[in-house]
Amino acid sequence: MAVNKPVAVIDYSVDGISGERISSWLKVPFTVVRVVEGEPFPVIAAEKYRAVIHSGSSYSIVDDTSFMEGAISFVQSCSEAGIPQMGICYGHQLLARATVGIDAVARCKRIEIGWRNVLFLPEWPFAEVSGEKAVWQSHYDCVVELPSGSVVTATNDHTEIQAFVNRKMKLFGTQFHPEFDRVQGNECFAEDIELFRRNNIDLESVLASGPGFSTGEVVFNNFLETFRQE
């Protein structure tokens, strides 16, 4: 990666705060690009960036938003140019949809929300993360197919593909959200009491928990280190 170029954080969140949450963990120059429903995907050049991080969103990956065609084209352009890309939840699913097609993503049978355990497999790029760890989850959609050459790096009984890496295509995806620490994560959960009630999930038990490690510090660094070019 060209170290004199910034990391692009593409913010697909409806409230426009995912970019700030993600970039707060980055120890390298960055720029945040906001994506808004009702508007086309912003005109940005892949070669301007050392890496790209696609955020999560409350939009569903199986729906065709106003920006979907442009987002898919941008993912493909980055891949063709050899720009490393990380996707988080919606962004993780976007990487699969853009490289495989719409059949690579699907609606889950039930929501996954809370501090949920994920099994980090030996294939996770760095040994500092291994075994079962609690991470921040909130999703209805999932990835069911990955581009050729991909390796699943984390899993659980709800979503088989919790994380993956594709070294040839320089893709790194996580279904979970590493950008949330315990305070921010629980604040977000507490704002949606009705969601937990509708799904028969004990919010108090969720709020008593937290992440199994410093996901923001570790996961974003692991992404950048995985594709670092000396």
Percent of the chain with pLDDT over 90: 97
pTM of this prediction? 0.96
Could you list the active site residues? 89, 177, 179
Residue in this structure with the two tokens 């707060």, named with its chain if needed = 24
Q: Are 78 and 48 in contact (CB under 8 A)?
A: no
Single-letter code of the amino acid located at 193: I
From the list 174, 173, 180, 169, the residue with the least C-alpha distance to 206 is 180
Domain 7-226 homologous superfamily, CATH: Class I glutamine amidotransferase (GATase) domain (3.40.50.880)
Task: Mark 143-181 as b/e (b = at least 16 C-beta within 10 Å).
Answer: bbebbeebebbbbbebbebbbbbbeebbbbbbbbbbbbb
Task: Enumerate the domain spans of the chain.
Answer: 7-226
Look at residue 2 in the predicted model and tell me its pLDDT: 67
168 touches 149 (CB < 8 A): yes
Q: What is the tens place of the pLDDT at every residue in 168-188?
A: 999 999 999 999 999 999 999
Task: Tell me the mean pLDDT in the region 136-143.
Answer: 97
